[in-house]
């Protein structure tokens, strides 16, 4: 292997092995949570919810849960990795290692992407099983390329955001505050469980400023073939969000603290 890419590969492999060693925490637990959402909202309550075009609520819910799983796990992977390296002192090694900031971001981002896609993919399979049991047929994917594109971009956006938060946070409480008071509200208000078309005009206007609305609806377009926002608009917003979070991650690596807690 080219020595130029050896540090990149080593960091990428390290990040993969880190979450693979604790699969119960990093993979099984999120899947159980998604399965509960599917059973409670999609199967039990969804029988009484009617959407436009007679779309089953379970079909509407599955794309939102898939994207929620990808985004949340991508964010958690990079943030927890940096926080743990701060705690153990390993983060200081990155400062003297023969690896540049872009390679660090790519290695950590791709590992977070793998975790997000793994959890999101299994969430989709669980949803497919529930849909098959309820309606006797699988939920077909309308636009596979669009689905993969939004999953990749959205996961990388939150992986980059997690890097920024990891360097910014000085305590575990600060990291938890961002996750609980910023990330989760954006996800839940981004159209995972409801269509923005059903909101009053004022709240619909507010929701349109939430970038997660476009990411979630991009995945919904990829699976169902239609969404609450134009697919090209969703792609443009997601792409802009990627470059903004990439710039923030680069700045965090260049100016952030590498010192041990």
Most confident of 81-90, 143-152, 193-202: 143-152
Q: What is the pLDDT of residues 88-97, one digit of tens each?
A: 777 777 777 7
> Is 1 domain-assigned?
no
Structure tokens at 34: 């998604």
> Is 260 domain-assigned?
no
Backbone φ and ψ for 254, nearest 5 degrees, come out as -80, -35
- Note the pLDDT of residue 111: 95
Is residue 232 exposed (0-12), middle (13-18) or buried (19+ Cβ within 10 Å)? exposed
Q: What is the pLDDT of residues 14-58, one digit of tens each?
A: 999 988 888 887 778 877 888 888 888 767 766 667 676 678 888
pTM, rounded to two decimals: 0.90
> Is 261 domain-assigned?
no
Q: What is the pLDDT of residues 204-260, one digit of tens each?
A: 888 889 999 999 999 999 999 988 899 999 999 999 999 999 999 999 888 765 555
Structure tokens at 247: 């710039």
What residues make up the domain containing 25?
6-255
Task: Indicate the number of domains in the chain.
Answer: 1
> Is 83 domain-assigned?
yes
> Is 249 domain-assigned?
yes
> Is 199 domain-assigned?
yes
List C-alpha distances in Å: 155 to 66, 67, 148, 228: 11, 8, 10, 21
> Is 203 domain-assigned?
yes
Give helix 231-255 / helix 211-224 axis angle, nearest 10°. 130
Are 219 and 145 in contact, with CB atoms under 8 Å apart? no
- Note the pLDDT of residue 261: 52
Among residues 117, 114, 122, the alpha carbon closest in space to that of 28 is found at: 122
> Is 173 domain-assigned?
yes
């Amino acid at each position: 292997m080219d020595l130029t890419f050896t540090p990149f590969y080593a960091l990428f492999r390290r990040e993969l092995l880190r979450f693979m060693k604790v699969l119960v925490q990093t993979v099984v637990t999120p899947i159980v949570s998604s399965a509960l959402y599917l059973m409670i909202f999609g199967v039990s309550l969804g029988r009484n919810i009617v959407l436009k075009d007679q779309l089953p609520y379970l079909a509407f819910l599955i794309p939102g849960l898939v994207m929620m799983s990808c985004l949340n796990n991508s964010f958690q992977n990079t943030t927890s990795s940096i926080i743990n390296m701060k705690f153990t002192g390993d983060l200081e090694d990155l400062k003297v290692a023969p690896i540049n900031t872009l390679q660090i971001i790519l290695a950590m981002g791709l590992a977070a992407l793998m975790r997000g896609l793994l959890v999101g993919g299994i969430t989709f399979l669980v949803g497919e099983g529930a849909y098959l049991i309820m309606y006797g047929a699988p939920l077909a994917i309308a636009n596979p390329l669009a689905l993969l594109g939004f999953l990749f971009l959205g996961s990388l956006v939150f992986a980059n955001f997690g890097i920024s938060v990891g360097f910014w946070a000085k305590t575990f409480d600060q990291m938890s505050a961002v996750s609980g008071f910023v990330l989760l509200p954006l996800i839940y208000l981004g159209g995972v469980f409801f269509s923005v078309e059903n909101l009053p005009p004022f709240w619909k206007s507010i929701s349109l400023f939430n970038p997660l609305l476009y990411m979630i609806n991009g995945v919904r377009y990829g699976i169902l073939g239609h969404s609450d926002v134009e697919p090209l608009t969703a792609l443009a917003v997601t792409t802009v969000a990627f470059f903004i979070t990439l710039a923030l991650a680069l700045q965090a690596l260049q100016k952030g603290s590498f010192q041990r807690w």
